[in-house]
Amino acid sequence: MATIINTGMQKFMVISPTEEKDKKYEAGQRFIDEGYIALGWYHQNFTGWSIDQIIEDIKQQKFSDENIAIKSYSDLFALEIGDIVGVTVVNKCILAIGRITSNYKFEKYKHDTGASVKDKFYSHFREVEWLITERQDRKKIKKDDDEKYWKPRGTTHLYSEVPKYIKRLINLYMQDELVDMELIGYEGKVREHLSSHKSIERDKNFVRKYKMKFSDIKTCPGCALNPEEKYSISATNFLELHHITLLKNRKSDKNTATSEHDVVLLCPNCHRFIHRLMSKCEKHKITLNELKDRIK
């Protein structure tokens, strides 16, 4: 049975596996091997505590990095089951990406941080199902021009939604699973084959994943043709991906994001007809309802 990973409205948090400078990769591997993320500072069991109670208790400890401790515990307790987490080594890489599967748990000295003093081990943790355990170097992760990578410093950083570059990584590594998230592809870059010939790049992998995600579509949404009944061909093999805004009309000649909301599956007849309508329309954009009206 396919695993469903819903990152549509989920939060995303990055976390450092240790404060020991030369032990981050080893400590991160322990996160991965044992399926959790963890925090330290001290060893008070917070089971059943509210975040306000935890913050008040942290303040009583008089830590030199009190604000960081408060932020980190606030982030850890704000996570809900199903939220996404990434284990980072400052700004160098992401060691793993996973999904939170438990509420807060406590086990004294649970996480070996690599510190020489056991009291610096971490006891507060959340269990994680790891989706990606292959190191992702920051410089090699593709992102949109307006996207920013995770903050390099600090124990944790919580974001209100999963960044697109994290969604793309999950989709890439889980392409044999059903991933319930907004699909993103990269298309539109103008490529020169010869000095007098150019073509627009399309993301074939995005098309494949889109058809896989929406495999329950049986008819053309324009004319209601059922290719299975008419031609004995499945809809996913017969229908074509139509860009609601033509790639050639994008402002950039470089690859830019194509969301699943930017496309629709149409039968070849409707696909060619809607392109004809778009060529005669000043706005160069025809909605699905407008297409249906013209067909009627």
Query: Which pLDDT tens digit goes with each residue over 250-285?
Result: 776 677 788 888 899 999 999 999 998 888 877 777
Domains: count for the chain: 2
pLDDT of residue 219: 94
Say what the alpha-carbon torsion angle 167, 170, 172, 176 is, to the nearest 10 degrees.
-130
155 part of a folded domain: yes
**Which residue did the predictor score with more confidence, 295 or 42?**
42
259: containing domain: 184-295
Predicted confidence (pLDDT) at residue 3 exceeds the cutoff of 80: no
First-to-last C-alpha distance (Å) of the chain: 41
Q: Is 179 within the bounds of a domain?
A: no
> For the chain, what is the mean pLDDT?
86
The reply to whether 151 and 30 lie within a common domain is yes
Report the CATH number that the domain containing residue 168 is assigned in CATH. 3.10.590
C-alpha dihedral over 74, 80, 83, 87, to 10 degrees? Answer: 40
Could you read off the pLDDT of 173-220 as tens digits, one per residue? 775 444 455 666 666 666 665 545 566 677 788 888 888 888 889 999
CA distance linking residue 111 with residue 31, whole number of Å: 8
Q: How many CB atoms lie within 10 A of CB 22?
A: 8
Asked whether residue 168 falls in the same domain as residue 32, the answer is: yes
Average pLDDT over residues 226-239: 90
- Statement to judge: residues 168 and 217 lie in one domain: no
Report the C-alpha gap between 189 and 183 in whole angstroms: 19
pTM of the model: 0.59
